[in-house]
Amino acid sequence: MKRRIISTLSICVVLALAWICLAQPETPATKKSAGAAGSRRGQQRERQQKALSEIGIQVTKIKTSMEASSGRRQGWRELSEEERNKLREQFRKAREERMKSLGLIEDQILMLKGRRTVYQEYDKSMGELSGILELAKKEKAKETTAAIEKLIAAKKKQFEKKMEELKMGERPRPRGN
């Protein structure tokens, strides 16, 4: 449990620092370079600002949830079974909310990374899987080949869905099998 808290807090600190760095007020020079609000760069900057503010909101939710749950554990042994079950349910709901918030943070970070980085990561993972697939075909391992092809198809579908959700533009460029 302590590892989760420490890792969550370290993620929160990193995100807070990134938020502070990227949310610097615009100087006249950066306003000129960003162009009009309707320009592509201006729109990208707006999306980045929204993503950073959403990350800040989710980090705040996670912190609040963790602080609220840490104080309730002290009198665990003195509680009746019914109270323990009620408390377990509250902990479960809080954990689900934290996981949901972490998922939203991951989506916003993906938005901040940009299309190029996302494509590079996708191409790298597909390249590795394609290499393994070729080895399985070479060894004539039919079940392994089928399993890898199924995994590749699932990853492609997941990637396409993520790109649609984030409205990042074009369909992915499928490479290899």
pLDDT tens column, 99-153: 998 888 888 887 787 777 777 888 888 888 899 999 999 999 999 999 999 999 9
End-to-end CA distance of the chain: 40
What integer pLDDT is reported at residue 134 of this predicted model? 92
Higher-confidence residue of 20 and 84: namely 84
Percent of the chain residues topping a pLDDT of 90? 13
Domain ranges of the chain: 1-24+39-113, 115-177
**Long-range residue pairs from 4-12, CB within 8 A, at least 24 positions apart, any chain:** 5/66, 8/62, 8/66, 8/98, 8/102, 9/66, 11/102, 11/105, 12/59, 12/62, 12/63
What integer pLDDT is reported at residue 147 of this predicted model? 92
What integer pLDDT is reported at residue 64 of this predicted model? 85
What is the rounded average pLDDT of the residues 21-38?
55
With CA atoms as reference, report the closest residue to 51 among 97, 8, 131, 106: 106
With CA atoms as reference, report the closest residue to 97 among 53, 61, 57, 70: 61
- 119, 100 Cβ separation under 8 angstroms: no
- Letter for the amino acid at 149? E
d(CA 49, CA 42): 11
What integer pLDDT is reported at residue 72 of this predicted model? 59
pTM over 0.75: no
31 pLDDT more than 70: no
Higher-confidence residue of 35 and 135: namely 135
159 pLDDT more than 70: yes
What integer pLDDT is reported at residue 47 of this predicted model? 81
Q: Which residues contact 105 (CB under 8 A, 6 or more apart)?
A: 11, 15, 55, 58, 59
Q: Is 27 left (phi over 0), alpha (psi -120 to 50) or beta?
A: beta
